[in-house]
């Protein structure tokens, strides 16, 4: 029996070593141009690092997350009743079927003190049933529950503890409650760099025994797009958004700088959506949603989904725009041309298609042209254009460019397909 066990162990060990060797060969084959000039010793460490990161990946965020967050509309005025009602509304409106599956509780959900064992406590006055019961309810609807903490001693509201110094304990608590998403803020910390504090929670979540989407809310201070992919599934590239045009376009501008660093499993985050909160016009909200979609930003609704207008529902339920955001190729669009108030945003999609947004940032109606040279389509290509807000394929076949009249603070959005 003992000899048989030893033989089995040897066979298993050889199998693991062969598998690891095979993975290294695969990495080598796909990255030979990158590593051709490296020394043998450097190559060894490169392969090991690639393998380590593959083994540590949590498998989440293959497309940008979609759902709802409480902060933009409710701030601290939250309780378990409205969270349940929000989950119900995501299902009853059909938004859940479109992909809006995360129900994310932001700041102010916990007591100011921990229990005698150092555990976080749900605020008894607003979450009397506890977070575990709330997670069970949300899960029963086919949805996922998100929660909020902070890489500091207190959260930004200063009404509840942060997780600094309690990372492993809090991660285990979140996992035991059935949490699916953690938004991790950056307030009231010890002055150390985010690059020191955030990886501690990453490691804690990896040990917690439950896959949890990790959203870094570092506000873009230390350029988290440059280091976030090893630590989280998304990273804020900006400070908080406000419900007005200037705030919205400034956030997407800052986010666009890091377009090449987004990829499946790790996304640039220009903050939650303001669509439906009343501070912008219909055209401005359409531009807002279009820009977030083409930029592969998380689509986290920030309005009261229990009381949405038909106009809001029309915008956030557009399947064709959502499909651009959720396209499996996972390439963030870039601003490929800017002429005063006229901008062209474009990015590749699967199936050799291209997503295009023509944006008018100015106060008057303008004709805006997207040229194939800017967009990245071969110059003499014949292109079919699908207007994803009008839900129609244009009869005209375009060669060289596409021009459209765009309303003030508005946009036109297309999916382009080369047909000849």
The catalytic residues are: 185, 240
Angstrom CA distances, 366 to 5, 370, 407, stand at 77, 13, 7
Beta carbons of 243 and 278 less than 8 angstroms apart:
yes
198, two tokens: 């955030």
Helix (H/G/I), strand (E/B), else coil: 185: strand
The Cα–Cα gap between 91 and 281 comes to 27
Return all residues near 110 (Cβ < 8 A) that are at least 6 apart.
120, 121, 122, 123, 160, 161
Report residue 415 as tokens.
Answer: 């999916």
Q: Are 68 and 300 in contact (CB under 8 A)?
A: yes
Q: How far is 20 from 28, CA to CA, in rounded Å?
A: 12
> Interior CA angle at 402 toward 399 and 404, to 5°?
155
Helix, strand or coil, per DSSP, at residue 182: strand
Q: Are strands 353-360 and 342-349 parallel, antiparallel or unpaired?
A: antiparallel
Residue 402's H or E segment, with its range, is strand 401-406
Residue 393 φ then ψ, to 5°: -90, 125
CA 184 – CA 235 distance, rounded (Å): 10
Task: At 88, list the tokens.
Answer: 């119900």
**Distance between first and last Cα of the chain:** 69
Distance between CA 7 and CA 9 in Å, rounded? 5
**DSSP per residue over 2-21, as a string?**
HHHHHHHHHHHHHHHHHHHH
């Amino acid at each position: 029996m003992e000899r048989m066990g030893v033989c089995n162990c040897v066979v298993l060990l050889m199998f693991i070593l062969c598998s690891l060797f095979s993975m290294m060969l695969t990495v080598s084959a796909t990255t030979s141009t990158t590593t051709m000039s490296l020394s043998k010793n450097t190559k060894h460490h490169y392969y090991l690092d690639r393998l380590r990161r593959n083994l540590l990946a949590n498998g989440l965020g293959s497309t940008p997350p979609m759902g709802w967050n409480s902060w933009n509309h409710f701030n601290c005025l939250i309780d378990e009743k409205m969270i349940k009602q929000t989950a119900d509304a995501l299902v009853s409106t059909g938004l859940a079927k479109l992909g809006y599956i995360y129900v994310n509780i932001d700041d102010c959900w916990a007591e100011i003190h921990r229990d005698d064992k150092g555990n976080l406590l749900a605020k008894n006055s607003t979450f009397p049933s506890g977070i575990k019961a709330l997670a069970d309810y949300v899960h029963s609807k086919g949805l996922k529950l998100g929660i909020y903490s902070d890489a500091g001693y207190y959260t930004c509201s200063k009404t509840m503890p942060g997780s600094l110094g309690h990372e492993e304990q809090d991660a285990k608590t979140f996992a035991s409650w059935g949490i699916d998403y953690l938004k991790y803020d950056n307030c009231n910390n010890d002055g150390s760099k985010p690059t020191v504090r955030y990886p501690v929670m990453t490691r804690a979540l990896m040990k917690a025994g439950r896959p949890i989407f990790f959203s870094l809310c570092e506000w873009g201070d230390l350029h988290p797009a440059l280091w976030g992919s090893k630590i989280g599934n998304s990273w804020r590239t900006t400070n908080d958004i406000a419900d007005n045009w200037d705030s919205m376009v400034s956030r997407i501008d800052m986010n666009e700088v890091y377009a090449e660093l987004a990829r499946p499993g790790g996304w640039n985050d220009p903050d939650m959506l303001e669509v439906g909160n009343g501070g912008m016009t219909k055209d401005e909200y359409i531009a807002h949603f279009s820009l977030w979609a083409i930029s592969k930003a998380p689509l986290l609704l920030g309005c009261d989904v229990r009381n949405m207008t038909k106009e809001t529902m029309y915008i956030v339920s557009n399947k064709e725009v959502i499909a651009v955001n959720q396209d499996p190729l996972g390439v963030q669009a870039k601003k490929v041309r800017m002429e005063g108030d006229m901008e062209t945003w474009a990015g590749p999609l699967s199936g050799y298609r291209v997503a295009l947004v023509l944006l008018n940032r100015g106060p008057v109606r303008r004709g805006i042209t997207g040229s194939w040279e800017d967009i990245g389509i071969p110059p003499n290509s014949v292109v079919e254009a699908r207007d994803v807000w009008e839900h129609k394929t244009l009869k005209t076949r375009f060669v060289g460019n596409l021009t459209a009249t765009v309303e003030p603070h508005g946009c036109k959005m297309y999916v382009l397909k080369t047909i000849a």
